[in-house]
Structures are given as structure tokens and as C-alpha cells.
């Protein structure tokens, strides 16, 4: 079972990531582009359109669409994920906002 500290560790382990306070929660961004937020004990994670649609269909108990500007965001019940799954999602979200060259180097 993953938690908020696992989310924080996964995000901050990636190159060029900054953590910023956000409404008593936190946001993680790279090059000023947000890719994950802590939210009500869970997370908001930015994913590709097809990946988000797939996760909404196969795990509706864990992933819900969340309206935020600039992307396809999912509200994620991170307590339903193991630490590795969460780290993979965070890396996927990060790679969607950084240049390909940086993404490949990490």
C-alpha cells in the first residue's frame, strides 16, 4: 500500500522536479509544468489520454477523471496501489511534461 511519502519520494527522485505548497497540499512540477499533486490523502496525476482512459476502464475503483487545465488528470486512490505502481505512474506523468531527451536520460 502506497502513501503520500511514497508519492513525494517518487516525484523528488526524478530530475529537475520541484515541490511547491498548494492549498495545504503539495504539487510536483518539472520546468514549471505540473505532473502530480497531493490531494485529500490521494493524488492527482497527469497522464496521456489513452493511458487515462484505459485506467478508468480497468480500475474505476482506483482512478477517477479530475478536471484540471492542461491535460488529462486522474484522481488516484494511492492506498490501493503498491509503491512500485505509484512510482511508475509518477514517472509516466513526469515524462509527459519534460523534453524527450531528459525523459530518456532518467
Using the predicted structure, report yes or no on whether residue 13 has a pLDDT greater than 80. Answer: yes
For the CA atoms of 94, 90, 92, 27, the dihedral, rounded to the nearest 10 degrees, stands at -30
User: How many beta carbons lie within 10 A of that of residue 53, not counting itself?
Assistant: 14
What is the SS3 assignment for 46? Answer: strand
pTM for the model: 0.91
Fold of 4-101: 3.90.1150
Task: Indicate the domain borders of the chain.
Answer: 4-101
The mean-pLDDT minimum among 11-20, 41-50, 67-76, 79-88 falls in: 67-76
Q: Do residues 85 and 2 touch, judged by C-beta distance below 8 A?
A: yes
Using the predicted structure, report yes or no on whether residue 106 has a pLDDT greater than 70. Answer: no
The separation between CA 75 and the C-alpha centre of its own chain, rounded to angstroms, equals 9
Q: Do residues 14 and 93 touch, judged by C-beta distance below 8 A?
A: no
User: What is the predicted pLDDT for the residue at 86?
Assistant: 97
User: What is the predicted pLDDT for the residue at 8?
Assistant: 96
User: What is the predicted pLDDT for the residue at 56?
Assistant: 97
User: What is the predicted pLDDT for the residue at 9?
Assistant: 97
Amino acid at each position: 500500500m502506497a502513501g503520500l511519502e511514497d508519492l513525494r519520494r517518487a516525484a523528488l527522485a526524478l530530475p529537475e522536479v520541484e515541490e511547491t505548497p498548494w492549498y495545504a497540499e503539495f504539487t510536483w512540477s518539472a520546468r514549471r509544468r505540473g505532473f502530480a499533486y497531493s490531494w485529500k490523502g490521494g493524488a492527482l496525476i497527469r497522464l496521456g489520454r489513452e493511458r487515462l482512459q484505459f485506467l478508468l476502464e480497468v480500475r474505476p475503483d482506483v482512478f477517477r477523471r479530475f478536471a484540471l487545465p492542461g491535460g488529462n488528470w486522474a484522481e488516484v486512490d494511492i492506498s490501493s496501489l503498491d509503491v512500485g505502481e505509484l512510482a511508475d505512474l509518477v514517472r509516466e506523468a513526469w515524462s509527459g511534461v519534460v523534453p524527450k531527451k531528459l525523459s530518456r536520460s532518467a
